[in-house]
Amino acid sequence: MRFTFDDREFDASPGQTIAAVLIGQGQRVLRRTSRRGEPRGLFCGMGVCFDCLVQVDGKPNVRACQTVVADGMRVQTQQGDGAWEAER
């Protein structure tokens, strides 16, 4: 299955999380903080720290370490607190 992260395509196996695929491909930054734009990425890997928040199909604040990839999923680096995208 395939998904995009910041408009780049990635392949994933069934059951893989977004974070597992991205970290495996060398992608370390998943979001940027709201005040200083500092990079954040996978820290705890079990859904406790919220450092791996990404935007998935227009929905902000999705934990990349807990979310299993779905075919065609559109994932984006989250900026700050994130914002909902209008449905297309």
pLDDT in tens, 42-81: 899 898 999 999 999 999 999 999 999 999 999 999 998 8
Digit-coded pLDDT (tens) for 6-31: 999 999 999 999 999 999 999 999 99
**Following DSSP, what letter does each residue of 1-12 receive, concatenated?**
-EEEETTEEEE-
User: Does the residue 10 lie in any domain?
Assistant: yes
Domain count, the chain: 1
pLDDT of residue 88: 55
Question: What are the E-state strand segments in the chain?
Answer: 2-5, 8-11, 31-32, 39-40, 53-56, 59-63, 74-79
85 falls within a domain: no
Residue 87 lies in a domain: no
| H or E element at residue 18 | helix 18-24
Residue 41 counted as domain residue: yes
pLDDT of residue 82: 86
- Predicted confidence at residue 84, as pLDDT, reads 86
pLDDT band at 83 (very low <50, low <70, confident <90, very high): confident
Does residue 84 lie within any of the structural domains?
A: no
- Note the maximum CA span of the chain: 36
Please give the single-letter amino acid code of residue 56.
V
The range of the structural domain enclosing residue 54 comes to 2-77
Task: Please tell me whether the overall predicted TM-score, pTM, comes out greater than 0.85 for this model.
Answer: yes
CATH number, domain containing residue 55: 3.10.20.440
In a domain, 58, yes or no: yes
In a domain, 34, yes or no: yes
